[in-house]
Amino acid sequence: MKVTIVIFSDPKNGSEEALGRVFNGLAAAYDFKQAGDEATIIFQGTGIRWIGELTKKDHPAHELFEAVKDQVAGVSCGCADVFGSSEEATKSGFDLIKNNPVPGTTGMSSFRKLLSEGSTVLTF
């Protein structure tokens, strides 16, 4: 099975809903990883802000993030530019994804490419 988990939730709003979404996205990645499936994680939209949060050792989802961070394909480059997180993403060692050359951006994730490669896309 091939799956891509896309994290859209925004940690800036500070809600339990946002934390629940990222936690469940990471838990889904962990589930697929444990089963030996091909799973990748992409941070998109305001979800790119999670990189700065999840790398903090005192964050409630840090341990789970550490267990699946090898599955992170990267963060949307255009979204990182717009929402001010490209430095955090780069500093954390994650790739900036720009395989969809959206006009007016430095590029974003291509969902069409993911689907054409047979990946099921789950959003959180």
What confidence tens digit (pLDDT) does each residue in 29-78 have? 999 999 999 999 999 999 999 999 999 999 999 999 999 999 999 999 88
* Count of beta carbons in the 10 Å neighbourhood of residue 45: 19
What confidence tens digit (pLDDT) does each residue in 6-29 have? 999 999 988 899 999 999 999 999
The first and second tokens of residue 108, run together, are 């974003």
Q: Where are the domains of the chain?
A: 2-123
pLDDT at 90 > cutoff 80:
no
Domain 2-123, architecture per CATH: 3-Layer(aba) Sandwich (3.40)
Q: Which pLDDT belongs to residue 87? A: 77
pTM to 2 decimals?
A: 0.93
What is the rounded distance in angstroms from the CA atom of residue 28 to the CA atom of residue 118?
A: 18
Q: Which pLDDT belongs to residue 93? A: 85
